[in-house]
């Protein structure tokens, strides 16, 4: 059995392949619109935010991120800000999850 080694590609072939990949990326980029970093964080003092938090059984960064369509890191900042304002309180935490609850009015 004779094994045949694949031939090395020439520099011209490599350049041609790279240009094809670049064109594909440009075509895909024009069709797909991607938002990087959502900046529309709900206002901390808004009634809408408080209503949504009251409806949640467990207030977690992931749950807030899904509910308001923001990144989890932004949700964590929002919850920490609410905690500093004494609107919510940290109930439980593990190494990868924090659970908050509304403070009694």
Number of domains in the chain: 1
Contact 59, 88 (CB under 8 A): yes
For residue 74, the domain's CATH number is 1.10.10.10
Q: Does 27 map to a domain?
A: no
Which residues of the chain fall short of a pLDDT of 70? 1-3, 27-42, 44, 105
Range of the domain at 65: 47-102
Contact 104, 87 (CB under 8 A): no
- Nearest Cα to 41, choosing from 8, 9, 68, 14? 68
Cα end-to-end span (Å), the chain? 82
pLDDT digits (tens, 9 = 90+) for 78-89: 999 999 988 899
Q: Does 88 map to a domain?
A: yes
Q: Does 79 map to a domain?
A: yes
pLDDT, residue 3, reads 67
Q: Does 98 map to a domain?
A: yes
Q: Does 59 map to a domain?
A: yes
What pTM was computed for the model? Answer: 0.59
């Amino acid at each position: 059995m004779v094994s045949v080694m694949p031939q090395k590609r020439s520099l011209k072939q490599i350049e041609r392949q790279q240009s094809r990949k670049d064109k594909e990326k440009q075509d895909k980029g024009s069709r797909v619109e991607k938002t990087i970093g959502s900046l529309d964080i709900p206002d901390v003092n808004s009634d809408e935010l408080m209503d949504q938090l009251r409806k949640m059984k467990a207030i977690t960064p992931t749950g807030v991120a899904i509910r308001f369509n923001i990144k989890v890191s932004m949700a964590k900042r929002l919850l920490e800000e609410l905690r500093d304002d004494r609107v919510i309180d940290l109930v439980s935490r593990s190494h990868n999850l924090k659970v908050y609850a509304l403070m009694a009015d």
